[in-house]
Amino acid sequence: MKMPSEQEMQAAVAKRDRSRDGDFCYGVITTGVCCKPSCPSRFAKPENLRFFRNIEAALVAGFRLCKRCQSADGSSRVAGLVKIARHIEDNADDRLTLTALADIAGLSPSRLQRAFREAFGVSPKAYQDAARMRRFKQSLKDRKGVTEAIFASGFGSISRVYGEAARNLGMPPKAYGAGGAGEVITYACRITALGLLAMAATHKGVCFAKFGNDEASLISDLKAEFPNATLRPSPSCDTSELDAWIKALDQHVSKGAPRPELPLDMRGTAFQMKVWHFLTSTREGDILSYSKLAAYIDKPTAVRAVASACARNRIGVLIPCHRVLRGDGGLGGYRWGVERKQALLHLEREHTAEAEPEKA
C-alpha cells in the first residue's frame, strides 16, 4: 500500500484523523516516540516529524512506541499489549522469554505472538531488539567503549549486536556481495543546498545517498553499487516518503533542522558496519580523528581500515563520516568532494553555536 503524500500526512496529524490510523505513522525527533495520526499528544512542529509506512519502520529508525496514543485506544486487549511493550522497554537488557511475557499478558505464547505483531507490526523479540539498539546507540553517545555499550544494552556478545544490525537495518554481507540480486531499489534525484542528491531505498530504508553534479553519473554510481538489483525511478506520487526524506535532509543541511532519523539499510562488512553504527551515534558538532574513531570502536590499530570504511560509506550525511578528520586537523578526503565536507562542518558549527544559548 502506498503512503499518502506528505501534505496529506501533515494534514491528518493536524486533524488527529483517526481514519488514517494504519495508513502511516510518524516519529517526533524531539521526543523519540512514534505515534498514530490520531495521537492526542501536544502537536509537534512540522519540521520535527518523520513519516513512516508502519511502526516497524519507525522502530528500525530508533523511535519507540508512544504510550499516550497507544493507551488512547479503548480496547483492553491493546492496553494489555501496551503494558507488555512497556515491560519490554523497561527490561530490554534482560532475557525475556515469550512464555514469561505471555504469563504477564494472561495469554498463550502463540496468541501473544500473533496479537503483538497485529498491534505493533513486529514480534516481541524484534521489539526488544529495537529497544536494545536504542540503548546501544545512547551508550555510544555517552562515550562508552563499543564492547561496554554492547553488554550494557543487553546484547550479550559482540556478534549478536551486529547480527541484529544486519537483520534489522540492512542485508548480510553475502547478500550485498550478490549486488542486490532479486531486490527492488527505488531512487529519486533532487536539488539540495549541497547540490544534486540521489537517494535510493529498499523496503528496509535508505541504502544510498550521494551528492553529484549530474543525474546520469549519480544513477550510474547507483547501478555500480547494486548491479543486479531492479532500479526504479520514484515519482513522488508513488513513493512520497523518498521526497519527504530528501526534504528532511535538505532542511538539516540548509536550515539547521536536526539530522533526520530515517531507517537505514546499511550494507557492508562487519567492520564497516561497526564504524558506520558508531558514526550515527555522534552528535552534531562532534569532530574526531581517524585514530580516535578507531579507539572508540576498540580497534586502536585499525586506523587505515577506519579511513577505508569512511571512504566506502554510500549514505552521505545520514552516516556522518564528514565529522572525521586527519590526525593533524586537516579535512582529509570525502567521497562527495572536500568542498561539501567543509560546507557541512561549517553548517554544523553554526548550528551548534546558535543552539548554545538554549542549553544555558
Is the alpha carbon torsion for 172, 177, 183, 186 positive or negative?
A: positive
Residue 230 dihedral angles phi and psi, to the nearest 5°? -90, 115
Whether 39 sits among the annotated catalytic residues: the reply is: no
Long-range CB contacts (within 8 A, 24+) of 76-80: 77/115, 78/119, 80/105, 80/106
Whether the Cβ atoms of residue 251 and residue 259 lie closer than 8 Å to each other? no
E-strand spans in the chain? 25-28, 33-35, 49-52, 64-65, 184-192, 195-201, 206-212, 230-233, 288-289, 324-325
Whether the Cβ atoms of residue 299 and residue 305 lie closer than 8 Å to each other? yes
Whether 321 sits among the annotated catalytic residues: the reply is: yes
**3-state DSSP assignment of residue 348:** helix
Whether the Cβ atoms of residue 278 and residue 288 lie closer than 8 Å to each other? no
The one catalytic residue among 25, 34, 35, 310: 35
* Distances 223 to 119, 198, 202, 230 between C-alpha atoms, Å: 38, 12, 14, 9
E-strand spans in 270-310? 288-289
Catalytic residues: 35, 321
